[in-house]
Structure 1
């Protein structure tokens, strides 16, 4: 079998229930020349599953071990071993759609030599693989938005894009300082560095929601909130350097709305008001009242009593 041009990087931590399906879905696609599975200090037996898979697929699957460095470090370790020109990141509890990688390789061929990532659609599923409602706006509905707004507010999820490996390396891969939304951070940094993201319809992978604490709940922790604020602030600073100062109104407004969204999420998951306040301050500086994200009643409350009290009153209502 001729090695395909794509390396699929699969980080795993205690994913014994799902990691065989994830790796198997990558190995099943002929466009995938290599899978690099990086185990991040698992204690549940998933490393034994990966080693068994590697024994059966010695030429296409490599298993790395690291002692709890986190998902970003794991993905970057896999990126360092990517041999082909193209790379995809697939979390160990998700699964690629049959033929999706081959389809994306064909789509990338239309942009040969260009700094372009193509991305497709995502199927949200539960622990058993059954479909769930997708809470994000359909990609087709975002097509009329300016590219900057799409990338700042609605960047693609982790495994939706196929990237050129050199474009990911250009921005040093995933940023371990980012506590959550790490793929959003990567894709926005790539876009600010000049990479275009082209949507092509079609489901690429199943994004699994399952038991245990959701990582989004961590926004209620002050340290996580601070990390997310610092990441967004870095994006704004980079945008000012690359896109020009002052920022175009649509760019400033998009960043403002994103600050507001994360600030609200911090309050909703239990962060103290002091941890959320910087998000709202940055949002107002960027876009004034145009940054407020919520229904009409919520927006009116924010103008009168501020976002912290408005959130509290909204929960009571």
Structure 2
């Protein structure tokens, strides 16, 4: 078996596109480390809630990294489960922020009952994906029912009903302890894989992985057989493979598709980044009436805290309503 280039090594916070020409398959692998751990630690989410948020972040970045314009992709769940809402906001191509709202008592009860998997925590409701291209462009929204299904199944359903593209998504999140100053440090990781059957997919890849042991003259499968093969291979992935920091995306892809040959595109970095700023928050406060602003004053100031990054902005009332 040929040696393969380990392009990204143990890198985190990247999306790696790939293509398998023989079975008309394209997709992306994502690995998240510091970015998702920062968002989770900032809010102190319980572990089951953190897992839901991490998987939602991986999914949104898998989708958002494929958009070919500067804009936003927003994933939002609204449901009756212990995790009432999750919002992931991706500013293409590489910035993400996310938050979750949950009922702490209901989460504790779910843990005690052994029903703390993401599908049970989300419950029944809707998953809404909004694409905003900015300017005067019309927003696009796709809505999927959440009836006790997890984010993987919801994503597959979204592509079946909205895009009519054969798609399989795998997601995973895990806690990790790594050496740090003063001892072991607790962190979170997330990973994911999305594959899509796109017959006659084109594109020019930057790097190739070795095609493995497939002999010359291999008979290509029919389209329906190709997708069945791709889906079956994707379903062999274990959750720990998706988040393993020692297993590069290239080696994961080689494990899956070496018999067909897999081509890997340039990795794309992603980072946790909130779009809030003092000027933006000031503009929001300015949109309220003077009476409403007076009601906001506490201890002689108007204080606004960003729900995403927990940054607090403090304003003097006179900045909006000068004293005559």
Return the TM-score normalized by structure 1.
Answer: 0.27
Q: Which has more strand, going by share of residues?
A: 2
Which fold has the larger relative contact order, with Cα–Cα distance below 8 Å and residues 6 or more apart in sequence? Answer: 2
Greater Rg over alpha carbons, structure: 2
